[in-house]
Amino acid sequence: MGWNPAVDLEMDRVGPRYQALLEVSTTGGQQLREHIVNVRGRPENPMSPEEVEEKARALMAPVIGDDRADRLFDAIRNLEAVTDISSLRPLLMKA
């Protein structure tokens, strides 16, 4: 069993841009299919604040490190207490 992604150009032409079609064949021979018209994160299917943070952390931590990502999110959650916005710059630097 392997990963076999395919692009369906017809789906791009006839439907919303942000959609997905997932088809899975199980080892038992069952065929599963799910068509999502508005994928997660679109205005029509928004992510929760927790999901946004989780996604941002997954993208940022490999670059800036877990510690900086934690400190950056803490600062963002308490942004009204930041007296000098330039103090956030070191948290954005590549580790």
Domain ranges (residues) in the chain: 1-46, 49-92
Q: What is the pTM of this model?
A: 0.64
pLDDT for 38 beyond 90: no
| pLDDT at residue 44 in the model | 86
Percent composition of the chain: helix, strand, coil (DSSP 3-state, to 5): 45, 15, 40
How far apart CA 35 and CA 30 sit, in angstroms, is: 17
Average pLDDT, the chain: 87
Provide DSSP, 19-38.
-EEEEEE-TTS-EEEEEESS
Among 40-44, 47-51, 54-58, 74-78, name the one with the lowest average pLDDT: 40-44
pLDDT tens sequence across 2-25: 666 666 777 667 666 788 888 899
Token pair for 75: 């600062």
Mean pLDDT of 17-40: 88
